[in-house]
Amino acid sequence: MHRTVTAVGQCLVSILSLTVVLSASGCKDTGSISEGPQVRLSSLSVSEPGLQPAFSSAITNYTLSVPSTVASVTVTATPENNSTNITIDGTPTRSFSVNLDLPPSSNDIAIVLTEQSGSQSSYIITVNRAAPLSGDNELSNLTVSSGSLTPGFSPGTLTYTVDVATGTSSLTITATLQDSNASLMINGQGISSGQSREISPLTPPGSDTLITILVRAPSGAEKTYRVTVKRPLPSSNAALSALTVSAGNLIPGFTADNTGPYELTVPASVDSLTVTATKSDANSVMSSLGSVIALSGVASGSVSSPLGLGTTTEIMITVRAQDGVTTKTYTIKVSRASR
Q: What is the pLDDT of residue 149?
A: 98
State how far Cα 263 lies from the chain centre: 63
Closest to 313 (Cα-Cα) out of 279, 280, 281, 270: 270
Which 8-state DSSP code applies to residue 38?
Answer: S
Closest CA to 238 of 112, 330, 102: 330
Instruction: Name the pTM for this structure.
Output: 0.64
Tell me how far apart the alpha carbons of residues 91 and 110 are, in angstroms, rounded to a whole number: 10
What is the three-class DSSP state of 21? coil
pLDDT score at 254 = 98
Cα 290–295–296 angle (5° rounding)?
A: 135
- 237 contacts: CB under 8 Å, gap ≥ 6: 280, 281, 284, 321, 322, 326
| pLDDT for residue 16 | 31
Amino acid at 168: T
Is there a contact between 309 and 292 (Cβ–Cβ < 8 Å)?
no
**Alpha-carbon distance values, 265 to 45, 258, 268 (Å):** 107, 19, 10
Q: What is the mean pLDDT of each run of 10 residues along the chain (339 residues)?
A: 37 33 38 67 98 97 96 98 97 98 97 96 98 96 97 98 95 98 98 98 96 97 98 96 97 97 97 98 96 97 97 98 96 95
Q: What is the pLDDT of residue 35?
A: 62
- CA-CA distance, 99 to 97, in Å (whole number)? 7
Which residues are paired to 164 by β-bridges? Answer: none
Q: What is the set of domains in the chain, with CATH numbers?
A: 1-35 (no CATH), 41-129 (2.60.40), 139-231 (2.60.40.10), 240-336 (2.60.40)
For 114, other C-beta atoms within 10 Å of its C-beta total: 17
Within 8 A by CB and 6+ apart from 271, the residues are 306, 307, 309, 336
DSSP codes, 143-182: EESSS-EES---TT--EEEEE--TT---EEEEEEESSTTS
Degrees (nearest 5) of the Cα angle 136, 139, 141?
150
- What confidence score (pLDDT) does residue 339 get? 78
